[in-house]
Amino acid sequence: MSMLHKEEPLTMPKSRRRRRSPSRDSPYDDDAYGYCKSKRRKATRDYDYQKHSRSPDRRRRRHHHHYHHHRDRAHSDENSYSPDRTNYSSRHSYHDSDHSSHYHSHESSGHSRSYKRKKYRRSYRHHRPSYSSQSSRQDHPELIAGAPCIEDDEDGHLIYHPGDVLQARYEIIQTLGEGTFGKCVEVKDVARNGQIAALKIIKNVEKYREAAKLEINVLEKLKEKDPEGKYLCVRMLDWFDYHGHMCIAFDMLGLSVFDFLKDNTYYPYPLDQVRNISYQLCYAVNFLHENQLTHTDLKPENILFVNSDFEVSYNAKKRRDMRRVKNTDIRLIDFGSATFDHEHHSTIVSTRHYRAPEVILELGWSQPCDVWSIGCIMFELYTGYTLFQTHDNKEHLAMMERILGSIPYRMAKRSRTNYFWHGRLDWDSTTSAGRYVRENCKPLYRYIMEPNNEDHVLLFDLIWKMLRYDPLARITLKEALKDPFFKKSCYLGGRARSHSLSR
Amino acid residing at 53: S
- The vertex-92 CA angle with 89 and 95, nearest 5°, equals 170
> Quick one: average pLDDT of 459-463?
99
pLDDT at 48 over 80: no
Q: What is the dihedral of CA 265, 390, 207, 201, to 10 degrees?
A: 0
Sorted by sequence, the CB contacts under 8 Å of residue 317 that are 6+ apart come out as: none
Q: How many CB atoms lie within 10 A of CB 350?
A: 24
Phi/psi of residue 331, nearest 5 degrees: -135, 140
**Residue-averaged pLDDT of the chain:** 78
Asked which of 37-41, 310-314, 390-394, 460-464 is least confident by mean pLDDT, the reply is 37-41
Q: How many CB atoms lie within 10 A of CB 348?
A: 15
pLDDT: which is higher, 298 or 503: 298
71 close to 160: Cβ distance less than 8 angstroms: no
Give CA–CA dist 455/272, Å, rounded: 9
Give the model's confidence band at 317: pLDDT under 50 very low, under 70 low, under 90 confident, else very high.
Answer: confident
Position 488 scores a pLDDT of 83
Position 101 scores a pLDDT of 38
270 close to 310: Cβ distance less than 8 angstroms: no
369 close to 471: Cβ distance less than 8 angstroms: yes
Position 315 scores a pLDDT of 86
- pLDDT per position as a tens digit, 356-376: 999 999 999 999 999 999 999
DSSP string, 200-238: EEE-S-HHHHHHHHHHHHHHHHHHHH-TT-TT-BPPEEE
- E strand residue ranges, 58-101: 62-63
> Quick one: average pLDDT of 29-39?
36
332 close to 365: Cβ distance less than 8 angstroms: no
CA 250 to chain CA centroid, Å, is 13
Position 468 scores a pLDDT of 99
Position 492 scores a pLDDT of 63
Phi/psi of residue 216, nearest 5 degrees: -60, -40
310 close to 328: Cβ distance less than 8 angstroms: no
pLDDT at 502 over 90: no
Give CA–CA dist 307/253, Å, rounded: 6
C-alpha closest to that of 33 among 98, 100, 90, 95:
95
Strand, helix or coil for residue 279: helix
For the chain, what percent of residues have pLDDT higher than 70? 68
Give CA–CA dist 79/201, Å, rounded: 18
- Cα Rg of the chain (Å, integer): 26
pLDDT at 422 over 80: yes
203 is in an annotated binding site: no
Strand partners, 425: 420
Give the model's confidence band at 489: pLDDT under 50 very low, under 70 low, under 90 confident, else very high.
Answer: confident
- pLDDT per position as a tens digit, 235-254: 999 999 999 999 999 999 99
Give CA–CA dist 37/235, Å, rounded: 26
- pLDDT per position as a tens digit, 78-101: 333 333 434 434 433 333 333 333
What is the per-residue burial (b if ≥16 Cβ within 10 Å, else e) of 169-200?
A: bbbbeebbbbeebbbbbbbbbeeeeeeebbbb
> Quick one: average pLDDT of 266-274?
97
Q: Which residues are catalytic?
A: 297
CA neighbours closer than 13 Å in the CB half-sphere of residue 415: 25
H/E segment holding residue 310: strand 310-315
Which range, 15-29, 101-115, 459-473, has the best average confidence (pLDDT)?
Answer: 459-473
